């Protein structure tokens, strides 16, 4: 059995594995896709102390750093069930391939995925004008025209944030009214370079083969299609935590995020969590790494308090 088993191999999981292995304890990482969301990212300019890097490069460095240590890396392994510790004090993680892993402590770091619009052009122009993270990619659109899709809190926050950076923001909401908090809506409506379009369904992202040139939306009241010329589309219709497999075992928030305390402890003894899959706000690489490190240290603390001498 492991002392610390990390489930998920993104920034949070990699940090947890390194911090655990550095304590000289038996450490394993099981990940569906080592590298996580970082693999889908192009330019990264907010990974502090590294002015510029690219996702696939950072993902390779994460794996290299983990492999410097005595860590059992199990890539392409999807966890399907967590079984809390019984009398033997071991938590069990069942894998899709039928195998099962046992560990004294577990760090859950299965991350999240952005909900996509599912319209033509969205995939084709991902990272070529279609973006999901205003904190990450906002500065790339300085002085340009962008749309934000989604009028919930994250969409309206993104529109306010982007309005300070870009030339013009069009916020597109599917429903007849925005769903964001009133204070955010007031702030948004006070900005001179923002246009709000409600009852609008985005149906296509347009481009020239290289990058985004515009989008098409249908007016859900009149039924006619409209075309907007712009350079960027920020999709803000939800971040979905990869926690479906934990339903019923670990306490989740109404959004499906794993509830953690300041030490990264979950509702299940010996089970910790870190990164985008948790209730910790602001989903970013540096934050996920910090939280992963913290969860591993908390797991180590748990081990020295509960293991026989
Ligand atoms: P993830 O990176 O999501 O990793 C989750 C890991 O868990 C993966 O290995 C996955 O395969 C695995 N997994 C999931 N389910 C299971 C399962 N059931 N069993 C086993 N393994 C599982 N952040 C920045 O700071 N700067 C940026 O510039 C930036 N740009 C971004 C651009 C894009 C396009 C995207 C999508 C995100 C961007 N982010 C950026 C956000 C950043 O990538 C995330 O905050 C960060 O990767 C979260 O790390 P994580 O380890 O919590 O989760």
- SS3 assignment, position 89: coil
Cβ neighbours for 92, distance < 8 A, ≥ 6 positions apart: 82, 83, 100, 101, 102
- What is d(CA 7, CA 108) in angstroms, rounded to the nearest whole number? 5
pLDDT, tens only, 218-229: 999 999 999 999
Query: Confidence class of residue 134 from pLDDT cuts 50, 70 and 90?
Result: very high
Mean pLDDT of 166-187: 97
- The tokens of 166 are what? 């870009």
pLDDT higher than 70, residue 309: no
Task: Say what percent of the chain tops pLDDT 90.
Answer: 98
Overall residue count recorded for the chain in this entry: 309
Count of other CB atoms within 10 angstroms of residue 273: 33
Confidence of residue 245 (pLDDT cuts 50, 70, 90): very high
Task: Provide the pLDDT for residue 42.
Answer: 83
Q: How many angstroms separate the CA atoms of 71 and 30, rounded?
A: 10
Q: How far apart are CA 193 and CA 161, in angstroms?
A: 12
How many A from CA of 175 to the centre of ligand 1? 29
Strand-pair partners of 145: 168
Tell me how far apart the alpha carbons of residues 175 and 200 are, in angstroms, rounded to a whole number.
Answer: 7
Sequence-ordered strand ranges (E) for the chain: 2-7, 27-31, 43-44, 53-54, 71-75, 79-83, 91-95, 100-108, 112-114, 130-131, 145-149, 168-172, 194-197, 200-207, 212-219, 225-229, 232-235, 239-241, 271-273
- ∠84-244-102 over CA atoms, to 5°? 30
- Mean pLDDT for the chain overall: 97
Question: Does the pLDDT value for residue 93 go beyond 80?
Answer: yes
Q: Which residues have C-beta within 8 Å of that of residue 3, sequence separation ≥ 6?
A: 20, 25, 26, 27, 103, 104, 105, 299, 303
- pLDDT per residue as tens digits for the range 37-90: 999 888 899 999 999 999 999 999 999 999 999 999 999 999 999 999 999 999
The yes/no answer to whether this complex scores an ipTM above 0.95 is yes
Ligand 1, CB within 6 Å, residue ranges:
7-13, 30-34, 36-38, 40-41, 44, 46, 78-79, 109-112, 114, 132-133, 136, 242, 245, 275-277, 283-286, 288
**Residue from 6, 9, 10, 239 whose mutation best tests the ligand 1 pocket (most atoms within 8 A of CB):** 10
Contacts of 69 (CB under 8 A, 6+ apart): 17, 18, 21, 22, 27
User: Tens of pLDDT along 110-122?
Assistant: 999 999 999 999 9
Structure tokens at 309: 């001498």
Q: How far apart are CA 132 and CA 145, in angstroms?
A: 16
Spatial separation of the C-alpha atoms in residues 44 and 59, rounded to whole Å: 11
Residue 80 CB contacts under 8 Å (≥ 6 apart), including other chains:
94, 95, 96, 245
Strand, coil or helix: what is 53?
strand
Report whether pLDDT(158) > 70. yes
Interval between CA 107 and ligand 1 midpoint (Å)? 15
Domains of the chain, CATH where assigned: 2-113+239-306 (3.50.50.60), 130-235 (3.50.50.60)
Residue 189: partners with Cβ closer than 8 Å, 6 or more residues away: 196
């Amino acid at each position: 059995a492991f002392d610390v088993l990390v489930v998920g191999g993104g920034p949070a999981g990699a940090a947890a594995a390194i911090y655990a292995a550095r304590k000289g304890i038996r450490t394993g990482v099981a990940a569906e896709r080592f590298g996580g969301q970082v693999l889908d990212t192009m330019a990264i300019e907010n990974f502090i102390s590294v002015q510029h890097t690219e996702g696939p490069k950072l993902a390779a460095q994460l794996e290299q750093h983990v492999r410097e240590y005595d860590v059992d890396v199990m890539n392409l392994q999807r966890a399907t069930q967590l079984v809390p510790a019984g009398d033997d004090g071991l938590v069990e993680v069942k894998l899709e391939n039928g195998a099962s892993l046992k560990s004294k402590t577990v760090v859950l770091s299965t991350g999240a995925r952005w909900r996509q619009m599912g319209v033509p052009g969205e995939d084709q122009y991902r990272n070529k004008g279609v973006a999901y993270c205003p904190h990450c990619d906002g500065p790339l659109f300085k002085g340009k025209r962008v749309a934000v899709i989604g009028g919930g809190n994250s969409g309206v926050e993104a529109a306010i944030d982007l309005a300070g950076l870009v030339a013009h923001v069009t916020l597109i909401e599917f429903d007849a009214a925005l769903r964001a908090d009133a204070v955010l809506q007031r702030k948004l409506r006070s900005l001179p370079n923002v246009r709000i379009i409600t009852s609008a369904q985005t149906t296509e992202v347009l481009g020239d083969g290289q990058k985004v040139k515009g989008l098409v939306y249908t007016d859900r009241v009149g039924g006619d299609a409209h075309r907007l010329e712009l350079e960027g589309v920020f999709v803000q219709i939800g971040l979905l935590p990869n926690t479906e497999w934990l339903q019923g075992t670990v306490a989740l928030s109404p959004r499906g995020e794993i509830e953690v305390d300041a030490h990264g402890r979950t509702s299940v003894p010996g089970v910790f969590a870190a990164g985008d899959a948790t209730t910790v706000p602001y989903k970013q690489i540096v934050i996920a790494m910090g939280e992963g490190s913290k969860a591993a240290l908390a797991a180590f603390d748990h081990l020295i308090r509960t293991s026989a001498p």
